[in-house]
Structure 1
Amino acid sequence: MKVLVPVKRVIDANVKVMVKSDGSGVDIANVKMSMNPFDEIAVEEATRLKEAGKVTEVVAVSCGLTQCQETLRTAMAIGADRGVLVETATDSNFELQPLAVAKLLKAVADKEQPQLIILGKQAIDDDCNQTGQMLAALLGWPQATFASKVSIEGDKAVVTREVDGGLETVSLALPAVVTTDLRLNEPRYVTLPNIMKAKKKQLDTLKPADLGVDVTPRLKTLKVSEPPKRSAGIKVPDVAALVDKLKNEAKVI
């Protein structure tokens, strides 16, 4: 069974995000980039399924700049067998939107014919939480989002989902799309020998035109701004003063 794992290159989770002075977007110049944490969980889960004998091949795929090759090499160091890069632009200011990514991934899936696609539930840069659902709709495959447990049982995937009321377990007929939540697993530490091995693994490069996909943005970002700074707290002498401030200043009661 083949598993396709889309991965995204994002600003490292430990870096403080800065907004450009003109408010046109986030400044990524000279900023450390890494794999989206939710996608890292997806690669780890696919690797564990392979180690358990349920999967024969794990293919990592990324869409974006040439630098995404680094992200794919990281995925291959974790355990992916090979990588596919869909190089969409050379300009870092080009915005690749969720629908375009979903269309590219569908085209790659049509070419690779995987039985399972595992990807992060969202990316930490835009927090859209759309690509997995759009991909499942375009493919016409069943989907299970926010997975905290995944197992393969014959020709079905049994997925435990995190929902508002607790946990929900669903059974999906393969092929299917699964998006990962934080509690699915803890990704392994990438060792130096595996990093060296990843450099020798196959990495193919495609263009959107090769897949017949138009990636022109459909949405326009009007303005990006930082959230307002939180004001300092104050101390009140008694309950009466607290109630007065909640009522007259905060206006929450």
Structure 2
Amino acid sequence: MQAVVITGASAGIGKEFARQLAMEGNNLVLVARRLDRLEALAGELRERNGIEVACIASDLAQPEASAELAKALEQQQIAVTGLINNAGFGDRGQFADLDLQRQLDMVQVNVTALVDLTWRLVPALKQAKDAFVINVASSAAFQAGPNMTIYYATKAFVLSFSEGLHEELKGNGIAVSALCPGATDSEFATEAHMTDTLLFKAGTMTTEAVVKKSLAGRRRAIVIPGLKNLLLVWMGKFSPRMITRRLAGMLQA
């Protein structure tokens, strides 16, 4: 079957991508660690939208996971028409105090697995009509972030990587977009120990609104959902980096 692959599909933004893409009539491949959640979501999507859905359990913190995922897609004869690189996580705290392995896993999931999987699926995407890649970055990608140093750094990589690929692959008919949301109402804040920060207390967007904006702008290099987030990014462009990084640190102190 032809299908869009979504990593990190068991919750939050990834789960909402699945729902909205299913409403468009796309067949899906849902990828995450928690197979029970994927299968529950798959059942819902099949019943509501009459689409085909495959579920693949994968822990992208493992170095071989992307290769195994690509092999599974080939074995199941799935022709990839789109890729949503949504899997990722953050953690709040100072670099020297946080567990080293958790931070290395963050780099693996947020950066290395994303690059690995994208490289492996580009040949298939080149064969598809109106193919697209959406890499979930963050408004954090536009400045350094004390107290979440590794997370901000990984998202800066995702943004730069996506912009470069946008230019390289548009001649092949593949649209590459970096989604850069701000604070969003999802499991991310709980997992990253951020629910009590000024950033999240100042208000969040819904996953529905974030994904709707992303899919509407999937052929644009950068999508920043929400007027507040857009203004903050543009203000940061005209502020000294010393100020923007200190402000970012205050927001998650």
TM-score for both structures, normalised by structure 2: 0.38
Higher strand share: 1
Q: Which has the higher contact order (CA 8 A, sep 6+)?
A: 1
Higher helix share: 2
